[in-house]
Structure 1
């Protein structure tokens, strides 16, 4: 059974709006390494649609992009992608699959079938999966920014506090800190 790692960009004040962080070669390399290590990606519909709106075209070469972004796009295109959605059933992006039925059962089956682990990259879905105690690790890029707005991490709340153990903290050259935590059971 693989582990589920929740990874996201977050500002010092908890904002997870993808437009407020530092997007450079170093942060893209971080996420490319995470994706390389994982057996599959898992998103909610909104995140899937945001990713689907640009990365397939970059992977095909239809849109110009710097080498680090193109590398990410090509690898992402080839990676198995799973989507939780109750409103959409058609997922034409290559290697995309829908998780249907009971969320706990569907995601646990995916974890069981993915020994290299799953990389979760959706904030709202992470809240639901954390409520179900399905997230094992957290790898956040903490950006040296105060956004002053949302959306924020876990803004709809959790039923109880999660205890985490620090595995590593690595500052990047751009001021971002890569934080790796493991859930304490």
Structure 2
């Protein structure tokens, strides 16, 4: 069974707005490395739609991008992508699959069939999965900024406090810190 890892960019005040944060070669290399260590991506519909309008064009060379972004796009292109959605069923991006049925059951089955692990990159979906006790690890890239706006991490709340064990904390040269946590027993 693979681990389900929630991975996201977050500012010091908890903002997870995709337009905030430092998007440089170093941060893209970090996430490309994380993709290389995983067997699949899991997104909600909103995140999938945000990603599908840009990254396939970078991967195909239709949009000019620096090498680090292109490498990320190429890895993402070949990665199996699973999408949870109640409002859309057609996901044409290469290697994309719609997860249907009971969320707990379908995500557990995905974990069981993906020994390399699954990355969750959608904040709202991660909150739902955490409520179901399905997330095993957390990989937060904490950016050195305070935005003063949302959306924020776990904005929808959790039924109880989640205790975590620190696995590693690695500062990047841009001031961000890559934090790796595992659920405490």
TM-score by length of 1: 0.99
Residue number in structure 1 paired with 2:72: 72
Within 5 Å, give how 1:37-116 maps onto structure 2. 37-116=37-116
1:172 is matched with 172
Distance 1:98 1:107 in 2: 11
Q: Deviations over 1:102-123 (max 9, x none)?
A: 0000000000000000011000
| Root-mean-square deviation over aligned CA pairs | 0.5
Equivalent in the alignment of 1:19: 19
4+ residue stretches of structure 1 with deviation over 2 A? none
1:119 aligns with 2:119: yes
Q: Which runs of 5+ in 1 are unaligned?
A: none
How far, CA to CA, are the matches of 2:131 and 2:39 in structure 1? Answer: 23
Inter-partner Cα distance in structure 2 for 1:22 and 1:180: 18
After superposition, where does 1:142-153 map in structure 2 within 5 Å? 142-153=142-153
User: What residue ranges of structure 2 are gaps of 5+ in the alignment?
Assistant: none
Q: Aligned-pair distance for 1:20?
A: 1.1
What's the secondary structure of 1:174's corresponding residue? coil
Displacement of 1:176 in angstroms is 0.1
Tell me which residue corresponds to 2:181.
Answer: 181
CA distance in 1, matches of 2:145, 2:53: 26
SS in 1 for 2:83: strand
Give, in whole Å, the separation in 2 of the partners of 1:39 and 1:177.
24
1:29 aligned partner: 29
Mapped partners of 1:61, 1:125: distance in 2? 30
